[in-house]
Amino acid sequence: MPLVRYLKAPVVPRLPPPPPRPVELPSRSHPHHLARLLPPALITLGSLLVTTAVWPIVQYQLILRHQWQPVTFVSPVPLTELGSLPQTYPVAYPPTPQVAGLSAQGSEPSLFDAKTWFPEADFSPGPKPITTYTLNIPELDIDSAQVVIDGRDLSQSLIHFPNTALPGQSGTAVIFGHSVLRQFYNPVVTNKQRYLSIFSKIMTLKNDDLIYLDYHGTRYTYQVKDKVEVKPEDVFILEQRYAFNELKLITCVPEGTYLRRGVVIARLLQASPL
């Protein structure tokens, strides 16, 4: 019987499977992807702009306005009896022709004309030996702001209301200043348009904050005592009270609007030479 020799076949190693081919992802910079991202981005940007414009007004109505109460004039005579009173008494504030407050186009009142803030008030200038002085409010970063006595243009300076007490005199010195939305507030001296926003934050002043008026070689220091809100027709807020030496800062509120007038009331604390 023949012998058969069996030979063991060589073991061939198994090769690993080839790696999967990478899947090419579409480029994120593809125009179609940018077009999808554009509407949400624009909506977000628009919402931020609207929020920054509306929030100061909402904040004023919900927070700041509750820090003081609107002033209402109370007549010492019952309103039902006013019609029977004689009509021979002098009028404190004679009516002013409507054309005095019109803009250059002659159709709408100019918000930069101080006369339009209280249309019924007498804005006739009086004789003054000095025509300007300066105002400083460190709490609001207002430094060396020019106040023009009997002026009218609120875009160029603060305005000292005609026929009100000058700094240091008995009575009430009244100063008007323009205001805009608070995010545009920039009262620094180097800003050529500083007077457009210079009084935007005066209603945030607190009692005991200091206001300085530099007039005729003397610095008059006033201390904030109160804040009130009135309507444009409430000209009684401009009346003089000679028992006190007061200062009233007036601007439009809510900031950036022309609806009402906010008034900061301060009392003279001291006077010192410059």
State the average pLDDT over residues 238-261.
90
CA trace torsion 266, 172, 271, 114 (10° rounding): 80
Please tell me the distance from the alpha carbon of residue 194 to that of residue 92, in angstroms, as a whole number. 34
Pairing assessment for the beta strands 171-176 and 158-160 based on DSSP bridges: antiparallel
pLDDT of res. 273: 93
**62-100, pLDDT tens digit by residue?**
655 555 555 544 444 444 544 443 433 333 333 333 333
Residue 145 has pLDDT above 70, yes or no: yes
**24-34, pLDDT tens digit by residue?**
665 555 566 66
**109-144, pLDDT tens digit by residue?**
566 676 676 776 666 666 667 799 999 999 999 999
> Where is average pLDDT lowest: 72-81, 104-113, 187-196?
72-81
- Sequence-distant (≥ 6) Cβ neighbours of residue 68 within 8 angstroms: 226, 227, 228, 229
State the average pLDDT over residues 232-256.
90
**pTM for this structure?**
0.63
Residue 218 has pLDDT above 90, yes or no: yes
State the average pLDDT over residues 194-198.
94
Domains for the chain: give ranges and CATH numbers. Answer: 60-70+109-273 (2.40.260.10)
State the average pLDDT over residues 12-27.
71
**256-272, pLDDT tens digit by residue?**
888 899 999 999 999 99
